[in-house]
Amino acid sequence: MDDPAPFVRRLTLNRPEKRNALSNRLRAQLFDALHAGDLDHDVRVMIIRGAGSCFSAGYDLRPDPNDPLPWYTAPGDGQWPRHVVAGWFDIWDLATPVIAQVHGWCLAGGSELATACDLVYVAEDAQIGYPPVRTMTTPDMQFHPWLMGMRAAMEQMLTGDALSGADAARVGWANRAFPAADLEREVLRIAERVAGIPPDLQQLNKRSVHRAMEVMGARTAIRYGSEILALGLHQRSSKEYLRDMVNGTLGDALARRDAPFGDYGQAAAAGRDGTGTAGEEGVR
């Protein structure tokens, strides 16, 4: 965590050896830092970025059983998607604007985190996708039609293919794409412009956009989507894939998922297969 400019707080997902896979502990630390920033009068905008080669390869699929969920969610079918969706809406509901600075892989849960931010800026060569739709189930946070429109959303849902950063900006998922070498400088420049507006007005500006989306049904539709995910986990294809994950290695299961499509593969799996050094986990 650092303050690279006046009124700008920057949070870095610091689990690079796992490609910033979103463990329960990492998410808890992220939300603690976001809540602290939201209460700090010297913070007018927050940036979330990832350490190392990417923003985030998604949720940690080999979680530490000793790490509890960061916040309570009613148990039962669909607890996990309800849990993470509640967290992402928490970012919507902060008074302080939050910017996602996306480079490298931004997959599955990582794309949900970025989507929950108020502004999203990406490297042109970033890769944004939701590959679990191929073998597991629908997304936890079903943001696609709200940000991409029906046709682009349908293509993403029916293929699981990744979008480049440039294409993500073109279809509306991101605000703008920049050359990777320029991304940090450009995000900081925009953050300083956002910080130039008094926070008592800025919180209203932020809410006005979210409330309009909610009137059109975005929050309700995304919450309903968590029930579709719960139903998906009872499908035969999902059960077979999850059984493969349990009985074999996660890396092998991901490789078999993506081999027919010729993409993702071990590059994405390396951050999510439980390998690598222990390293320091957290937000810095």
* CATH number of the domain encompassing residue 138: 3.90.226.10
Residue 19 lies in a domain: yes
CA distance 284 to 275: 22
Question: Is residue 90 one of the residues assigned to a domain?
Answer: yes
Determine, yes or no, domain membership for 226.
Answer: yes
Nearest alpha-carbon partner for 105 in 176, 10, 18: 18
In percent, the amount of the chain with pLDDT more than 90 equals 85
Residues 225-267: pLDDT tens digits?
999 999 999 999 999 999 988 888 788 888 889 999 999 964 4
User: Domains in the chain: how many in total?
Assistant: 1
Whole-number Å distance between alpha carbons of 213 and 222:
11
User: Tens of pLDDT along 78-97?
Assistant: 999 999 999 999 999 999 99
Residue at 6 is within a domain: yes
282 lies in a domain?
A: no
Q: Record the pTM.
A: 0.92
Closest by Cα among 25, 278, 31 to 11: 31
User: What is the domain extent for residue 208?
Assistant: 2-269
Q: What pLDDT is attached to residue 82? A: 96
- Strand, coil or helix: 87: helix
